[in-house]
């Protein structure tokens, strides 16, 4: 290697290099996504429409994973239980004939006690299986699936009375395999307000720019991190203004983009959850949780009720997962009674990891970026598979390989890293 | 036994209680459940001989897969959720044997012979990885297994297998299920099979199982086997006494992978089909449940656990289906009880004290 190249490499600032090594997974997926998008030949408006929908319906569930990571419980595969609670509420609401936003709110309320109890039990179980939390939540998901099937395939109609020709199988026992929400909860949340993407872009841009300025002004008096704060403000302003300009431009041009509609309320709910998680980490309980997550021995010594905190984290995650599943299903409009929840945990966890999170650290931005990237791959891989290999199925195999592989890989890397650190100590 | 009698009834009772306790509550519940199912089957007049033959056939089919859990547990890497890796090696052997147009015992043992080198290689790689992720073997193993299964889906589509029995009539790749009719379907089950009082005994399969257990048992009698068991039980002591613990862990995994490859071929000959693509994905959990039901824990297991566990677990599944169908047409009850029992027992094992790594 010549001297000039070497110095150039050194010229790459330490920060940049650190950024690259820390985000190698995310960068890789950005490249794969862009490549796949190009190969698949999808038009950008069509792709945007799909990705907006997918982020709206999956974002909440991915965010539900953050709190257990904070509490040191790792990736919570048991969000599947939360999803079951959400589906239980949806089945009840559909059975009683509720729909629209009222129905959604009813589901939110109905799912709470189920999710609470499941989270409580999961947390108690995890306190008995310390050090093996993730495999426990994984197996617990399978176990709960058995119970779920027992209830809805066998107990409905035999022990739990339910008279509903639409929902129950003709034999009178067990629910049908698919439940149609078209005349009820479908788009209950999405359709409250749907605004054009262009307008949404202007509004979001304005909010981002205003937020950046306000944040800067409010915190100006604090002593530390002046430069970083300024950078953040500039970034927020640039993004906000760019987004506004783009929106206005497309609006005036009447391009394809101006026909896209964004489920504004769903996004508002997601933003609200982001804000809640951000706020929660600053509360006493959030700080305690972080301490427990970092070192439960230290937490014990500091007088924090470790076991209780862990249970609380599981309850919160499970309840959020239940609501996430409600958002997911109202968008899908139809759900597979015995299948909709099965892959929920895997897809959400893969999303989070692709965003650059690990078993021990996950942030809101990682969750959101990961959701976008994972679902980009979801959209493009069958199409890219057809173009590249003449077979859409190969793309689907690739998709599930990536989902499983990314989870396996990051679990392995995390454990490997932890062992190396342990050796160094 | 005469000594026990001299101590009087009191200590006899405590001994019985002690024995029951070490036998474990879940085992008692499961045995009770099986007995209840049998009584139910008797009362609703399900032909018992057929049930017993099915139970024996299932035992022969599944026990080698369950046995694959044993070396991994005793080698110190806990439950072998990477079992799908071994299974895929076995399936590759089976597919190659059909591609080479082998039939009968040649096909079966040919398939095993071809899958062995693959299994050793895969086992070495997997073992290498497991030594880097100590403490998270089960979670990482599960997802490595899943990833490998979906990666192999590419393989089944793209590998150059041309035998019309396996290939799709249109398009590329191997079928989802490949029939073994005329190849090695039932080759062990029907070998020297006799019918006693209406119960058809799959002599060949049980003989093969005995042979496998004997080989494993003999292995544990060798110095290497002793060292492996010691390394698994107490890695720190073993390291101090000059045993290479990491190498022993890899050894356990390699043997497990080999047994997984052989196990799936034994399973396939009984089932009559090779199941490719996603089929191997959850087989690791079934096998793990089998050995745990038999009395194993995350850290210790014996051959008797394999046999007892497979018999109980698959015995329940065999009886549950006809009983459920007769009581009410609840066809899915067998599948549901499998999910609940198998995952429930794994959770129970995880929640036991001392299973931590």
- Whether B15 is covered by a domain: the verdict is no
Half-sphere exposure of A235 (CA within 13 A, CB side): 7
Residue A18: predicted pLDDT: 73
Smallest CA–CA separation between A251 and chain B, in Å?
44
Residue B331: predicted pLDDT: 60
Residue A249: predicted pLDDT: 84
Residues of B in contact with A393 (CB under 8 A): 157
pLDDT, mean over chain B: 86
Residue A5: predicted pLDDT: 44
A377 touches B at CB < 8 Å:
no
- The chain A residue lying nearest B137, using CA atoms, is A412
The beta-carbon neighbor of A407 closest among B133, B143, B340 is B143
Residues of A in contact with B330 (CB under 8 A): 153-154, 173
What is chain A's length? 425
Smallest CA–CA separation between A86 and chain B, in Å?
21
Mean pLDDT of B171-189: 84
Mean pLDDT of A269-295: 91
The reply to whether residue A419 touches residue B133, judged by beta carbons under 8 angstroms, is: yes
Mean pLDDT of A352-375: 89
Smallest CA–CA separation between A358 and chain B, in Å?
14
The reply to whether residue A138 touches residue B133, judged by beta carbons under 8 angstroms, is: no
Residue B267: predicted pLDDT: 94
Mean pLDDT of B286-306: 90
- pLDDT score of A28 more than 50: yes
Which band of pLDDT confidence, cut at 50, 70 and 90, is reported for residue A180?
confident
The reply to whether residue B133 touches residue A149, judged by beta carbons under 8 angstroms, is: no
Smallest CA–CA separation between B215 and chain A, in Å?
31
- pLDDT score of B13 more than 50: yes
The beta-carbon neighbor of B340 closest among A132, A143, A158 is A143
Which position has the higher pLDDT, A390 or B43? B43
Mean pLDDT of A305-324: 94
Residues of A in contact with B339 (CB under 8 A): 142-143, 145-146, 149
Q: What is the DSSP letter of A256?
A: G
- The chain A residue lying nearest B324, using CA atoms, is A154
| Mutation choice for B interface testing from A140, A145, A404 by most B CBs within 10 A | A404
ipTM metric? 0.84
Which position has the higher pLDDT, B322 or B237? B237
CATH of the domain at B188: 1.10.3470
The reply to whether residue B336 touches residue A154, judged by beta carbons under 8 angstroms, is: yes
Mean pLDDT of B96-115: 90
- pLDDT score of A156 more than 50: yes
Mean pLDDT of B150-164: 85
Q: pLDDT > 90: what percent of chain A?
A: 31
Lowest mean pLDDT among A72-86, A249-263, A308-322: A249-263
Q: How far apart are the first and last CA of chain B?
A: 39
Q: Which residues pair with A160 in a beta bridge?
A: A156
Residues of B in contact with A358 (CB under 8 A): none
A138 touches B at CB < 8 Å:
yes
What tokens appear for A117 in the block? Answer: 């109890």
- pLDDT score of B18 more than 90: no
Smallest CA–CA separation between A204 and chain B, in Å?
39
What tokens appear for B156 in the block? Answer: 């089944």
Exposed, middle or buried, A27 (CB in 10 Å: 0-12/13-18/19+)?
Answer: middle
The beta-carbon neighbor of A401 closest among B147, B171, B338 is B147
What tokens appear for A165 in the block? Answer: 């020709």
- Please tell me which of A91-105, A166-180, A181-195 the model is most confident about, judged by mean pLDDT: A91-105
Residues B107 and B98: their CA atoms lie apart, in Å, by 7
The beta-carbon neighbor of B343 closest among A143, A405, A412 is A143
What is chain B's length? 357
What tokens appear for B253 in the block? Answer: 């995994």
The reply to whether residue B336 touches residue A397, judged by beta carbons under 8 angstroms, is: no
Which band of pLDDT confidence, cut at 50, 70 and 90, is reported for residue A126?
very high
What tokens appear for A297 in the block? Answer: 């021995």
Residue A402: predicted pLDDT: 82
Residues of A in contact with B356 (CB under 8 A): 130-132
Smallest CA–CA separation between B310 and chain A, in Å?
19
- pLDDT score of B22 more than 70: no
A408 touches B at CB < 8 Å:
yes
Dump pLDDT digits (tens) for B185-219. Answer: 888 888 888 888 888 889 899 999 999 999 999 99
Mean pLDDT of B235-255: 91
**Quick check: B34 and B315 in contact, CB under 8 A?**
yes
Residues A182 and B139: their CA atoms lie apart, in Å, by 39
Residue B6: predicted pLDDT: 44
Q: pLDDT > 70: what percent of chain A?
A: 93
- The chain A residue lying nearest B356, using CA atoms, is A131
| Mutation choice for A interface testing from B137, B288, B350 by most A CBs within 10 A | B350
Lowest mean pLDDT among A232-241, A367-376, B47-56, B148-157: A232-241
Closest CA to B318 of B298, B303, B338: B338
- pLDDT score of A270 more than 90: yes
Residue A40: predicted pLDDT: 82
Closest CA to B77 of B151, B144, B147: B144
Q: pLDDT > 70: what percent of chain B?
A: 90
Dump pLDDT digits (tens) for B316-338. Answer: 888 887 777 776 666 677 788 88
Nearby residues of A78 by Cβ (< 8 Å), 6 or more positions away: A118, A122, A137, A140, A141, A144, A314, A317, A318, A345
Q: What is the DSSP letter of A153?
A: I
Residue A160: predicted pLDDT: 84
| Mutation choice for A interface testing from B88, B134, B143, B289 by most A CBs within 10 A | B143
Which band of pLDDT confidence, cut at 50, 70 and 90, is reported for residue B4?
very low
Which position has the higher pLDDT, A421 or A281? A281
- pLDDT score of B3 more than 70: no
The reply to whether residue B147 touches residue A408, judged by beta carbons under 8 angstroms, is: yes
- Whether B356 is covered by a domain: the verdict is no
Dump pLDDT digits (tens) for B82-96. Answer: 999 999 999 999 999
Which position has the higher pLDDT, A354 or B21? A354
- B117: containing domain: 25-351
pLDDT, mean over chain A: 85
What domain count does chain B have?
1
Residue B11: predicted pLDDT: 64
- Whether B61 is covered by a domain: the verdict is yes
Residues of A in contact with B147 (CB under 8 A): 401, 404-405, 407-409
Smallest CA–CA separation between A394 and chain B, in Å?
7
CB pairs under 8 A between A and B: 129
| Mutation choice for B interface testing from A145, A146, A347, A398 by most B CBs within 10 A | A146
Lowest mean pLDDT among A1-10, A41-50, A312-321: A1-10
- pLDDT score of A407 more than 80: yes
Residues of B in contact with A411 (CB under 8 A): 133, 136, 139-140, 143
Residues B225 and B302: their CA atoms lie apart, in Å, by 13
Nearby residues of A405 by Cβ (< 8 Å), 6 or more positions away: B143, B147, B150, B151
The reply to whether residue B343 touches residue A400, judged by beta carbons under 8 angstroms, is: no
């Amino acid at each position: 290697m010549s001297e000039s190249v070497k110095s150039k490499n050194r010229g790459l600032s330490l920060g940049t290099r650190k950024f690259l090594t820390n985000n190698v997974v995310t960068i890789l997926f950005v490249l794969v996504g862009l490549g796949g998008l190009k190969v698949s030949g999808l038009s950008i408006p069509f792709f945007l429409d799909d990705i907006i929908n997918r982020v709206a319906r999956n974002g909440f569930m991915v965010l539900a994973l953050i709190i257990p990571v904070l509490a040191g419980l790792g990736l919570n595969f048991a969000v599947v239980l939360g999803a079951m609670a959400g589906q239980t509420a949806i089945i009840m609401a559909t059975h009683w004939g509720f729909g629209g936003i009222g129905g959604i709110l009813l589901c939110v309320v109905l799912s709470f006690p189920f999710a609470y109890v499941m989270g409580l039990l999961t947390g108690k179980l995890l306190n008995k299986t310390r050090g093996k939390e993730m495999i426990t939540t994984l197996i617990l998901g399978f176990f709960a699936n058995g119970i779920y099937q027992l209830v809805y395939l066998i107990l409905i109609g035999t022990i739990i009375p339910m008279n509903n020709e639409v929902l129950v199988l003709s034999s009178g026992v067990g629910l049908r395999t698919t439940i149609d929400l078209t005349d009820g909860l479908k788009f209950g949340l999405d359709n409250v307000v749907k605004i054009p993407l262009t307008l949404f872009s202007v509004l979001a841009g304005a909010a981002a720019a205003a937020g950046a300025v306000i944040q800067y002004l409010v915190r100006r008096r604090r002593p530390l991190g002046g430069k970083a704060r300024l950078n953040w403000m500039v970034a927020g302003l640039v993004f906000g203004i760019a987004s506004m300009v783009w929106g206005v431009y497309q609006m005036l041009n009447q391009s394809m983009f101006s026909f896209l509609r964004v489920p504004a309320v769903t996004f508002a709910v997601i933003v609200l959850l982001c804000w809640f998680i951000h706020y929660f980490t600053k509360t006493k309980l959030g700080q305690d949780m972080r301490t427990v997550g970092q070192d439960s021995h230290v937490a014990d010594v500091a007088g924090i009720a470790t076991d209780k905190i862990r249970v609380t984290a599981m309850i919160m995650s499970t309840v959020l997962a239940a609501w996430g599943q409600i958002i997911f299903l109202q968008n899908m409009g139809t759900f597979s009674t015995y299948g909709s929840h099965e892959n929920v945990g895997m897809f959400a966890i893969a999303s989070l990891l692709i965003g650059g999170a690990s078993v021990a650290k996950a942030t809101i931005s990682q969750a959101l970026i990961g959701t976008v990237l994972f679902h980009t791959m979801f959209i493009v891989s069958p199409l890219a598979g057809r173009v590249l290999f003449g077979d859409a199925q190969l793309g689907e195999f690739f998709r599930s390989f990536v989902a499983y592989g990314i989870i396996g890989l990051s679990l392995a890397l995390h454990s490997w890293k932890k062992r190396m650190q342990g050796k160094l100590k | 036994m005469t000594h026990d009698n001299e101590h009087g009834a009191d200590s006899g009772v405590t001994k019985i209680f002690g024995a029951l306790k070490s036998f474990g509550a879940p085992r008692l519940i499961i045995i009770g459940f099986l007995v209840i199912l049998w009584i139910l089957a008797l009362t609703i007049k399900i032909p018992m001989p057929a049930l017993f033959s099915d139970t024996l056939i299932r035992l022969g089919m599944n026990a080698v897969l369950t046995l694959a859990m044993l070396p991994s547990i005793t080698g110190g890497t806990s439950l072998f959720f990477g079992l799908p890796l071994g299974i895929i090696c076995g399936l590759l052997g089976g597919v190659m044997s059909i591609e080479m147009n082998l039939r009968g015992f040649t096909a079966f043992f040919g398939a095993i012979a071809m899958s062995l080198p693959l299994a050793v290689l895969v086992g070495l790689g997997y073992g290498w990885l497991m030594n880097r992720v100590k403490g998270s073997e089960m979670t990482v193993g599960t997802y490595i297994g899943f990833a490998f299964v979906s990666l192999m889906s590419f393989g089944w589509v793209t590998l150059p297998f041309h035998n019309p029995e396996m290939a799709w009539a249109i398009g590329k790749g191997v079928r989802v299920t490949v029939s073994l009719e005329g190849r090695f379907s039932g080759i062990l089950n029907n070998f020297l099979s006799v019918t006693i009082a209406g119960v058809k005994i799959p002599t060949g399969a049980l003989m093969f199982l005995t042979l496998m257990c004997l080989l494993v048992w003999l292995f544990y009698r060798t110095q290497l086997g002793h060292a492996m068991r010691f390394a698994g039980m107490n890695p720190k002591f073993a390291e101090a006494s000059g045993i290479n613990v990491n190498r022993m862990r890899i050894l356990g995994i390699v043997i497990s992978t080999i047994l997984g490859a052989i196990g799936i071929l034994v399973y396939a000959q009984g089932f009559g089909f090779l199941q490719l693509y996603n089929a191997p994905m959850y087989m690791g959990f079934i096998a793990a449940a089998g050995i745990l039901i038999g009395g194993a824990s995350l850290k210790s297991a014996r051959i008797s656990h394999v046999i007892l566990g497979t018999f109980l677990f698959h015995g329940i599944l065999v009886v549950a289906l006809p009983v459920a169908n007769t009581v009410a047409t609840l066809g899915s009850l067998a599948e549901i009880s499998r999910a609940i029992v198998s995952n429930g027992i794994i959770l129970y094992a995880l929640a036991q004290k001392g299973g931590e790594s």
